[in-house]
Amino acid sequence: MTKLVIIGAGKGGTALLEMLQGDPTVRILGIADKRDHAPGLELARSLGISTSADYRKFLVQDNIDLIIDVTGDPAVGAMLAALKPTRTEIMSGSAARFMWDLIADRKRKEELEDNYTLMQRELDAVSDTEFIIGKNPKMKEIDELIARVSPAPTSVLIRGESGTGKELVARAIHRYSHLREKPLVTINCTALTATLMESELFGHKKGSFTGAFANKIGLFEKAAGGTIFLDEIGDMSTEMQAKLLRFLQTGEIKAVGDVQIRHVKVRIIAATNRNLEQAIEHGEFREDLFYRFTFAIMLPPLRERVEDIPELAYHFLQKAKAKVNKKVESISTEALDYLKNYSWPGNLRELENMIERAVVLSQTGQIDTAHLPLHIQVGKLKVNSDQGFMEAKRRIVEEFEKEALSRFLMEAHGHISHAAACAKLPRRTFHRLMLKHHLSARGFKPKY
């Protein structure tokens, strides 16, 4: 800890005192100024810091590490240099100003970081519950289940297709629990072999296997007192399932290559997109581990939440336009119809990515059907029973041609040769089709 004295209690000394006060690396022994009512003296007194009208008072102390002279008076600087203790450093003139600016910059950075952290927490809170957006009764039930299970230490199994928001549910449970200030550690059970999975979860000792060049703390230990989220637990090897089961039963961990057993208290939340009952029948998942998860939450796929799609789409629109810094305010009615009629095999994740892509492509401030992938529009091709087969086919082909041409022109920013190359058509053929469907390249050029 640096022990220092400030000489000068005017504007500069006061600002320096305000900035340094509360810094754990600094102890202010005193502040001096010849003016009895200098603002810095009054502030120092209110903070319980020693004050003086005599600059020399503090120079007799031999425990001062640093004197900061902000008077700007050369005579004061000379006097301090002559009388200071041998081991005490003096910072004055431009050096003092530099330090002042440096401390001010650091304080501003800390304030910005604090504001960023607060904003990030608020954004995380919104993101963690975005899967609940909408009016679907199933999602209201899930919201209630999260509220009930969060305060309890119960192990939770979250089930649902890929992209339905299983990790978001896990984060919401952690956020609303009494463990919210403790770590939330995530691991994907699909990505690692059994050996690496054991090392990741339990840690290892140096030299315990090839490539173990140093001791490693496992994720269970890192998550101690908090929550660990085991994503895609259905893909975990049966060998690792046995070790996880033992941990759930005893709370004991032992690093690979170690003989010491440690006790760790951590909440387990797991997720899977697999049919675990079927996996149990095939001997791919332990039945006793399955029943250790006493509380299950089943997330519905997006295709069963059609009424929520418009609200979710606008939610993702707000996120996307902020991310890419683009002013896109609306989604056309026809585009929303396409979204509602699509089957969404990728669920929420696919919808979010599709909306972000549409925001990038849009040049009009609105997401239209032309900004959506062609495959999403297949479900909208309907045959009128009053039409004959050939007439219905002709109409559908024309709709497809126009949408496809628009897509290629948009991605090529109105450059016909590039669009034709993307479509793998001769430029002349592509241009002829444009004329047929009354499409102009100018309408697809960027507006900037």
Of 33-42, 150-159, 351-360, least confident by mean pLDDT is 33-42
Instruction: Compute the distance between CA of residue 271 and CA of residue 323 in angstroms, rounded to an integer.
Output: 28
Assess whether 369 and 257 both reside in one domain: no
Instruction: Compute the distance between CA of residue 76 and CA of residue 69 in angstroms, rounded to an integer.
Output: 8
Q: Using one digit for the tens of pLDDT, what is the confidence trace for 42-87?
A: 888 888 888 888 877 777 776 777 888 888 788 888 888 877 777 7
Domain final residue pick, 281, 300, 319: 300
Whether 312 maps to a domain, the answer reads yes
Q: Provide the pLDDT for residue 279.
A: 95
pLDDT band for 104, please (50, 70, 90 cuts).
low
Percentage of the chain beyond pLDDT 90 is: 42
Whether 232 has a pLDDT exceeding 90, the answer reads: yes
Assess whether 209 and 94 both reside in one domain: no
Assess whether 82 and 199 both reside in one domain: no
Whether 123 maps to a domain, the answer reads no
pLDDT band for 27, please (50, 70, 90 cuts).
confident
In terms of Cα–Cα distance, which of 312, 388, 304, 406 is closest to 350?
312
Assess whether 152 and 266 both reside in one domain: yes
Whether 210 has a pLDDT exceeding 70, the answer reads: yes
Whether 437 maps to a domain, the answer reads yes
Instruction: Compute the distance between CA of residue 80 and CA of residue 77 in angstroms, rounded to an integer.
Output: 5
The residue among 29 and 285 whose pLDDT is bigger is 285
The greatest distance separating any two alpha carbons of the chain, rounded to the nearest whole angstrom, comes to 107
Check: pTM over 0.85? Answer yes or no: no
Residue 90, domain CATH: 3.40.50.720
Assess whether 296 and 328 both reside in one domain: no
Q: Using one digit for the tens of pLDDT, what is the confidence trace for 301-346?
A: 999 999 999 999 999 999 999 888 888 999 999 999 999 988 899 9
Whether 118 maps to a domain, the answer reads no
Residue 234, domain CATH: 3.40.50.300
Assess whether 372 and 390 both reside in one domain: no
Q: Counting beta carbons within 10 angstroms of the beta carbon of residue 417, is it exposed (0 to 12), middle (13 to 18) or buried (19 or more)?
A: exposed
Domain final residue pick, 300, 317, 345: 300
Residue 361, domain CATH: 1.10.8.60
Per the structure, the count of domains in the chain is 4
pLDDT band for 128, please (50, 70, 90 cuts).
low
Whether 120 maps to a domain, the answer reads no
Assess whether 153 and 196 both reside in one domain: yes
Q: Strand pairing partners for 4?
A: 28, 66
Whether 259 has a pLDDT exceeding 80, the answer reads: yes
Domain final residue pick, 324, 348, 378: 378
The residue among 203 and 25 whose pLDDT is bigger is 203
Q: Using one digit for the tens of pLDDT, what is the confidence trace for 109-121?
A: 655 555 555 555 5
Assess whether 279 and 324 both reside in one domain: no
Q: Provide the pLDDT for residue 280.
A: 96
Q: Provide the pLDDT for residue 105.
A: 60
Q: Using one digit for the tens of pLDDT, what is the confidence trace for 262-281?
A: 999 999 999 999 999 999 99
In terms of Cα–Cα distance, which of 263, 260, 236 is closest to 249?
263
- The stretch 133-149 carries a mean pLDDT of 90
Structural domain containing residue 214: 129-300
Cβ–Cβ under 8 Å, residues 299 and 156: no
Whether 222 maps to a domain, the answer reads yes
pLDDT band for 443, please (50, 70, 90 cuts).
confident
Assess whether 228 and 282 both reside in one domain: yes
Assess whether 393 and 370 both reside in one domain: no
Of 4-8, 172-176, 180-184, 241-245, least confident by mean pLDDT is 4-8
- The stretch 111-135 carries a mean pLDDT of 58
